[in-house]
Amino acid sequence: MNQNPHTYPYPSSRNVIYGKKGMVATSQPLAAEAGLDILKKGGNAIDAAIATAACLTVVEPTSNGIGSDCFALVWVDGKLHGLNGSGQAPSKLTMEAVKEAGYEKELPKFGMIPVTVPGTPGAWAELSQKFGKLPLSEVLEPAIKYAEEGFPLTPTLAKYWERAYKAYSRLLEGDEFTSWFETFAPGGKVPKAGELWTSPGHAYSLRLIGETNAKAFYEGELADKIDQFFQKHGGFLRKEDLEAYKPEWVTPISVNYRGYDVWEIPPNGQGLIALEALNILKGFEFAEKESVDTYHKQMEAIKLAFVDGMKYIADPSSMSVTVEQLLSDEYAQSRRNEIGEDALTPEPGTPQKGGTVYLATADGDGNMVSFIQSNYMGFGSGIVVPETGIAMQNRGHNFSLDPSHDNALKPGKKTYHTIIPGFLTKGDQAVGPFGVMGGFMQPQGHVQVVVNTVDFGLNPQAALDAPRWMWSEGKKIHVERHLAPHIAEELARKGHDVKVELEGGPFGRGQIIWRDPESGVLVGGTESRTDGHIAVW
């Protein structure tokens, strides 16, 4: 990886950032600085990640909340650990119950039905107990203060907040949604950029979670409030579902891409898609970054990997093929052979049988964390438990109502999950954490960041600033407006249905921290498409 920190081939107002003792990169400045404060108080990268994540539930509620799921890749003492912090479907959430409620084709996006067990509070506690240095109560204190005392909204946050309010005002009808409006639009007024917003209930819940290592959320007072609210409004989530939850330590999965190991969380996360695409791409050579061949082959590889992921990724116990089969060199070659000069309409292959926030942290001792947390669609389900600030995710919407599908809804099952943290290593050395949040954009963003970094030696900021593209379906490709026009035209001639987007939001928000193995110097990049920030020590 021969990076040039002085080369910026793409429009950006940001420089690459360097540090030595610690670094926190995320989409919101207050959250990043909160993580750095925890490092300066004697915490490590794990403490900083938890503090930043908790703070993001307050200062970026448009993307995540206490009722979120999360995943983490944690580098400690020369080893990479994976934590799956996603929750299961409630025991009463059956396919029959959903259809009796009037939903025949898919689970709804909003309301009580798509809410699965939130994994985030339990994952914070698990990370803190296994790897943290400071008490969870101290680590959550910055988030508690922002919830109690208020904070001024940043411009991007205010834009998405207002957009959500307008959409929810049209879509959310019923008493179960009243608390959302009371919490996020008090007095019927949406907070604007620069205006203060407070959430005392949010602070109260965070304090209980910190004091009890999340037991209050799964077994105590908060669990009781969640249970009562869902029973009152005909929801399926119950206290016994919360009591049954436990975060799961998992073995990360990887492929070797041109001498670098790229790591992801195994299914039920969709990181497998990024790895399959990279496994296909490693059989090609790319002469230059800004060429139609470079873009075309990446797009074709993502399409093939994505349709496989949508067919096969589910709770591991329900998958009809294995990770090893999908990531085998033989299968990669068979998919690679399908890529020609023209755009294809992808179909799933047959392997041989045998709303999100992302943050990265690093400390001076070599610990590093890649962490992602999400309510799924913006604020999530629209359900907020009264007087708690707990906004519930709508992750259950991803379940299939086709009984024959690998991802078919079943009580106690985890659904296909979009959020994925990434990590890069070389040999036995950590290179560092990376991620690009944003629904089904995420594995596509991971592939683009890895290719930008490994194939073309772009520094972290340039790798993030590079124009992005996103496949949505069939031959449809969305590209950013600063993609070179001649590239877009040539892609169209190859049969891609190219649509130029004016906003950068759909293309995700990324963060990167790399560590120099010899000097220990940290180098970071943050997202120019949002209010991204790197706090450095």
Bridge partners (DSSP) of residue 370 are 73, 360
d(CA 299, CA 293): 10
pTM, rounded to two decimals: 0.95
User: Is residue 300 domain-shared with residue 223, that is, in the same domain?
Assistant: no
Q: Is residue 462 part of a domain?
A: yes
Q: What is the CATH number of the domain that holds 493?
A: 1.10.246.130
Which one of 62, 212, 356, 361 is the catalytic residue?
356
The secondary structure of residue 294, as a DSSP letter, is H
Say if residues 261 and 426 touch (Cβ distance below 8 Å): yes
How far is 46 from 162, CA to CA, in rounded Å?
33
Same domain, 236 and 371: yes
Q: Is 281 found in the same domain as 208?
A: no
**Entry field: residues in the chain:** 537
525 located within any domain: no
Asked about 120 being catalytic, the answer comes back as no
Q: Which residues, including other chains, have CB under 8 Å from residue 82's CB and lie 6 or more apart?
A: 71, 72, 73, 74, 249, 250, 251, 252, 265, 266
Cα–Cα distance for residue pair 12/435, rounded to 1 Å:
19
Claim to verify: residue 33 and residue 98 sit in the same structural domain: yes
Residue 518 DSSP SS3 = coil
Full strand arrangement of the beta sheet holding 497-501? 469-473, 476-480, 497-501
Residues 507 and 454 in one domain: yes
DSSP β-bridge partners for residue 411 = none
Same domain, 325 and 473: yes
Residue of 428, 421, 452, 430 whose CA lies nearest to 522: 430
Q: What does the buried/exposed string (b/e) look like for 147-166 if buried means 16 or more CB atoms within 10 Å of the residue's CB?
A: bbeebebbebbbbbbbebbe
Q: What is the residue-wise DSSP string for 193-234?
A: BT-EE--HHHHHHHHHHHHHTTHHHHTSHHHHHHHHHHHHTT
Helix (H) or strand (E) holding 145: helix 141-149
Residues 216 and 75 in one domain: yes
Token pair for 11: 């429009």
Q: Which H or E run contains 480? A: strand 476-480
Name, in order, each residue with C-beta under 8 angstroms of 100's C-beta and a sequence gap of 6 or more: none
**Under 8 Å between Cβ of 464 and 525:** yes
- Domain holding 505, by residue range, is 250-356+419-517
Asked if residue 412 is part of any domain, the answer here is no
- Write down the pLDDT at residue 354: 40
Whether residue 157 is contained in a domain is answered as yes
Q: What are phi and psi of 246, to 5 degrees?
A: -150, 130
Q: Are residues 350 and 271 in the same domain?
A: yes
- Give the Cα separation of 54 and 373 in Å (integer): 10
Domain-embedded: residue 414: no
* Largest interatomic CA distance in the chain: 62
Say if residue 206 is in the same domain as residue 194: yes
pLDDT per residue rounded down to tens, the chain (537 residues): 656 554 446 655 688 999 999 999 999 999 999 999 999 999 999 999 999 999 999 999 999 999 999 999 999 999 999 999 999 999 999 999 999 999 999 999 999 999 999 999 999 999 999 999 999 999 999 999 999 999 999 988 999 999 999 999 998 999 999 999 999 999 999 999 999 999 999 999 999 999 999 999 999 999 999 999 999 999 999 999 999 999 999 999 999 999 999 999 999 999 999 999 999 999 999 989 999 999 999 999 999 999 999 999 999 999 999 999 999 999 999 999 999 999 999 998 877 544 789 999 999 999 999 999 999 999 999 999 999 999 999 999 999 999 999 999 999 999 999 999 999 999 999 999 999 988 899 999 999 999 999 999 999 999 999 999 999 999 999 999 999 999 999 999 999 999 999 888 889 899 999 999 999 999 999 998 888 999 999
Q: Is residue 183 part of a domain?
A: yes
Q: Could you write out the three-class secondary structure of 379-392?
A: CCCCCEECCCCEEE
Rounded Cα distance between 477 and 479, Å, is 6
Residues 277 and 241 in one domain: no
57 plus 105 within the same structural domain: yes
Number of domains in the chain: 2
> Is 530 part of any domain?
no
DSSP states along 47-69: HHHHHHHHHHHHH-TTT--TB-E
Would you say residue 524 lies in a domain? no
Same domain (yes/no): 329, 380: no
